[in-house]
Structure 1
Amino acid sequence: MEELQLIEGCKKHDRRSQQIVYQRYARVMYGICLRYSSDADSAQDLLHDGFIKVFAHIPSYEGKGSFEGWMKRVFINLALETIRKDKIKKQYSEDIENLSDIDEIRDDSEDDTAKISETELMKMIQELPQGYRSVFNLYAIEEYSHKEISEALGIAEGTSRSQYIRARLLLQEKVKAYLKRQ
Structure 2
Amino acid sequence: MTDQSLVDLVAGCRRKQQSAMKAFYERFYGYALSVCLAYADNPDDARELVNDGFLKVFSRLDELRSLDGLTPWLRRIMVNTAIDHYRKQLKRPTAVSAEAVSHRLEEPYLNDEAIFAQLSAEHILAVLHQLAVPYRLVFSLYVLEGYSHREIGERLTITESTSRSHLTEANRLLRKLLATQVNQSHERAKR
Q: Tell me the C-alpha RMSD between the 2 structures.
A: 2.2
Question: In the alignment, what sits opposite 1:55?
Answer: 58
Question: In the alignment, what sits opposite 1:115?
Answer: 118
Distance of 1:51 and 1:143 partners within structure 2: 22
Structure 1: runs of 5 or more not aligned: 94-104
Question: In the alignment, what sits opposite 2:20?
Answer: 17
Deviations 1:85-119 (A, max 9, x none): 111743269xxxxxxxxxxx9x7245354221111
Question: In the alignment, what sits opposite 1:126?
Answer: 129
Superposition map of 1:115-154 within 5 A: 115-154=118-157
Q: Residues 21 and 112 from structure 1, CA distance in 2 versus in 1: closer, same or farther, beyond 3 angstroms?
A: same
Write out the 4+ residue segments of structure 1 that deviate beyond 6 Å after TM superposition.
none
Structure with max Cα Rg = 2
Contact 1:135 1:163 in 2 (8 A): yes
Instruction: Name the TM-score, length of structure 1 as normaliser.
Output: 0.86
Distance of 1:52 and 1:10 partners within structure 2: 12
Q: Tell me if 1:40 matches 2:43.
A: yes
Question: In the alignment, what sits opposite 1:31?
Answer: 34
Distance of 1:145 and 1:80 partners within structure 2: 15
Contact 1:22 1:51 in 2 (8 A): yes
Q: Residues 112 and 151 from structure 1, CA distance in 2 versus in 1: closer, same or farther, beyond 3 angstroms?
A: closer
Question: In the alignment, what sits opposite 1:76?
Answer: 79
Q: Considering Cα pairs closer than 8 Å and 6+ residues apart, tell me whether 1 or 2 has the greater RCO.
A: 1
Distance of 1:71 and 1:112 partners within structure 2: 31
Distance of 2:48 and 2:149 partners within structure 1: 28
- Of 171, 174, 182, the residue aligned with 1:168 is 171
SS in 2 for 1:66: helix
- Of 3, 6, 15, the residue aligned with 1:3 is 6
Deviation at 1:177, TM superposition (A): 0.9
Question: In the alignment, what sits opposite 2:105?
Answer: none
Contact 1:89 1:130 in 2 (8 A): no
Distance of 2:53 and 2:115 partners within structure 1: 37
Contact 1:132 1:166 in 2 (8 A): yes
Distance of 2:158 and 2:138 partners within structure 1: 10
Deviation at 1:65, TM superposition (A): 5.1
SS in 1 for 2:38: helix
Instruction: Name the TM-score, length of structure 2 as normaliser.
Output: 0.82
Contact 1:92 1:162 in 2 (8 A): no
User: Sequence identity, in percent?
Assistant: 30
